[in-house]
Structure 1
Amino acid sequence: MDFEWDIDKNRKNKKRHGVDFEFASKVFIDPNLLSRIDDRVDYGETREIALAMYLGVILSVVYTWRGDRIRIISARKATKYEQRRYYEGIFG
């Protein structure tokens, strides 16, 4: 799987949420990854939100597909509610 992201956005995300996009990209190997379409706003592109775990940390990662690459838009540690949804296998 190939990934891309905006360098400045990554820097801002790390400062705001403490999560680097390189680390966040690792959640996509989680076989229990849950994903849904983010249709709260018309972004002009299809965005998805993933809940997945890497090294014991559950993250919420917003991303989109650019061709065959995943473009990470934002990433943060999952809320308690999102963690519960992840463990229950329910997201949507």
Structure 2
Amino acid sequence: MHFEWDDNKAESNFIKHGISFEEAVTVFADPYLQFTEDTKHSEVEEREWAIGEAENGSMIVVVFTMRGDQIRIISARKATKRECRRYEEGI
């Protein structure tokens, strides 16, 4: 998998959520990673969000879009308790 992101967006995301995009991409190695379409936040491009366990064990939600064969990270944050429960129920 190939990842890309805007460096300014990555910095603002880290300031707001405390999650680096480098950490966020590690959820894509989670064998139980779950995906959902994000139809609320973009009319221009198709966005998805993924919830999974990061390399450090934290549960992270990553919003992304596909650009060719690249996964473009848009944002990342810690999963809520409700999202964690949904993830666990899906395993």
TM-score by length of structure 1 reads 0.93
Q: How many residues align?
A: 90
- 1:57 is matched with which residue? 58
Seq. identity, %: 52
Aligned to 2:65, the other structure's residue is in SS state: strand
Structure 2 gaps, min length 5: none
Equivalences for residues 66-77 of structure 1 within 5 A: 66-77=67-78
Matched with 1:10 is 10
User: After TM superposition, where is structure 1 displaced by more than 6 Å over at least 4 residues in a row?
Assistant: none
1:38-53 to structure 2, matched below 5 A, reads 38-53=38-53
Deviations 1:23-80 (A, max 9, x none): 1011001010000110114430100010000121110000000100100000000000
User: What TM-score comes out, normalization by structure 2 length?
Assistant: 0.94
